[in-house]
Chains A and B, each alone.
Chain A
Amino acid sequence: ETGVTQSPTHLIKTRGQQVTLRCSSQSGHNTVSWYQQALGQGPQFIFQYYREEENGRGNFPPRFSGLQFPNYSSELNVNALELDDSALYLCASSPSGSARFDEQFFGPGTRLTVL
């Protein structure tokens, strides 16, 4: 158990809809990152938040957005869903902003299916 939880476990949406995925980090973990893992692929970095500010972004369009809250929870929002957004969405947390030496702890993921 990593102490990182995600909800919901599974989600089915239709093209064009909006979705919010949630992550709860361990207490004291100021950094949270979100990854998208398509079937048969390695996870791809979406963005990272440190103390409620976006701290870096991967090659994802603006319809992917996020929020981080003071209580160590965070959200990933995706607007105008496309079929290719179907994937496992993972959040990862680490104890500090200087995450270069920190082990990252992943949640169990949310499986999103877009029909």
Chain B
Amino acid sequence: KQEVTQIPAALSVPEGENLVLNCSFTDSAIYNLQWFRQDPGKGLTSLLLIQSSQREQTSGRLNASLDKSSGRSTLYIAASQPGDSATYLCAVDRGSTLGRLYFGRGTQLTVWP
């Protein structure tokens, strides 16, 4: 059974810091890994999708890396801003049912001015 763990559970930093959020998964036979952002009480916004054959993806101040063999992914946020405050979730597509995502519990990020 695929299990996804995210560390840390919560993070509080001043504006401008560079951040690293961690995600690990137990079964390395994944098709892709996706990072999402969730604002309180809201749905999920996709940030980055990394296919299993890729090592990283970048979008603006966000960079996500994937190491399938070790079962790890990191989300790097450069020059954090208060608007980045949200919960960040990673999810892997194991493929037992195509497109079924296994989620971690998320990292709750607070960026203060």
Contact = CB atoms under 8 A, between A and B. Distances in A.
Interface of A: 2, 6, 31, 33, 35, 40-45, 48, 55-58, 88, 90, 92, 94, 97-109, 111
6 contacts: A42-B103, A42-B105, A45-B102, A90-B43, A109-B43, A111-B41
B19 interface: no
Contacts of B43: 2, 6, 90, 106-109
B99 interface: yes
Nearest to A57: B97
Given A40-B105, A42-B4, A99-B93, A33 B41 contact: no
Contacts of A40: 105
Size category of the B interface is 20 to 34
Nearest to B105: A42
B11 interface: no
A57 B96 CA distance: 10
Nearest to A43: B103
A94 B99 contact: yes
Nearest to B1: A59
Given A90-B43, A104-B34, A99 B105 contact: no
Nearest to B99: A99
Contacts of A102: 99
A51 B93 CA distance: 20
Nearest to B89: A42
A94 to B, nearest CB: 6
Interface in B87-108: 89, 91, 93, 95-106
B34 A101 contact: no
A31 B97 CA distance: 12
A48 B103 contact: no
B91 to A, nearest CB: 8
A44 B91 CA distance: 11
Contacts of B91: 42-43
Given A35-B101, A43-B91, 17 more contacts: A2-B46, A42-B103, A42-B104, A90-B43, A90-B44, A92-B101, A94-B99, A97-B98, A98-B98, A101-B51, A104-B99, A104-B101, A108-B42, A109-B41, A109-B42, A109-B43, A111-B41
